[in-house]
Structure 1
Amino acid sequence: MYLRPPGATDRTPARDWDGGHLWLRYHSAQELYALSFRRRDGKVVLKRKHPAPGRPADEEGVYTTLATAGHALGHDRWHQICGTVSGPRDGRVRITLSLNGRTVLDAEDEDPGRLVTAGGVGLRGDNTEMAFFGFTAGNHTGGRPRAEPPAEGTSR
């Protein structure tokens, strides 16, 4: 993943969460795991998004933070981002976020609303430009990416 520094406009003001996000087990706009790997505030965050209790199913969901840490990635260079979701095992779902081969967040979700079935994946950028190379999804057993990103200092 290649990220530019976050910007802002009158229509899209600066927010702490501006940056790059990976979605796993995407079931709908109201149900997914969100792994924020480069936020404006320098944090990495794992969240579960779920329908708001007592509200219509078509309304925006609410986020529950499962884990957070400070870990700012540099801008304007390539990074390897890896998010995994496994389980349920013993009633729990495990979510991990690794950056450049190092696990930076590891959390278990055992709440009743945890996402126990497979779902889609996606990338989201808030107030930032991103490029990706060698994106893969599915059963991953680790190891190096199958291909190398473009040379350092290039964005494509």
Structure 2
Amino acid sequence: MSTPETRLSELGITLPEPMKAVANYVPFVISGNQLFVSGQVSATAEGRISGRLGETMDLPAGQNAARQCGINLIAQCKAALGELSRVKRVVKLGGFVNSHPLFTDIPQVINGCSDLMVEVFGEKGRHARSAVACPTLPLGVAVEIDGIFEIEV
């Protein structure tokens, strides 16, 4: 069985440097056998993926933004755990989408992240989830997603 790091390589994904907190919080907390990762925004080393779904961005662009949030979540997991094989289960994702009031494909946007978790972690990547629309998000980004992971201690 291949490791999550191997799967990332097969997908052509290089994890970025984990994002630093932009306010008074920490990027992640380990409590018992759970890893809580603070909201990761749709940003790359080149800059933020900004926009508003249904207004300046279409569904595929939103899914790409959510996928980038997933990559950033995994980068935080790697920073917290050292090895991604310590992730026993992706427990829950909370997705927030900067969207026009008439845009209703919020769950499909967050699938960009959910699909990535399954691609990287296999069956352990299947998770509970919430997906909500917001009139704006921090730094003007299109998507923000936080995560809860069960880990080996």
TM over 0.5: no
| Structure holding more strand per residue | 1
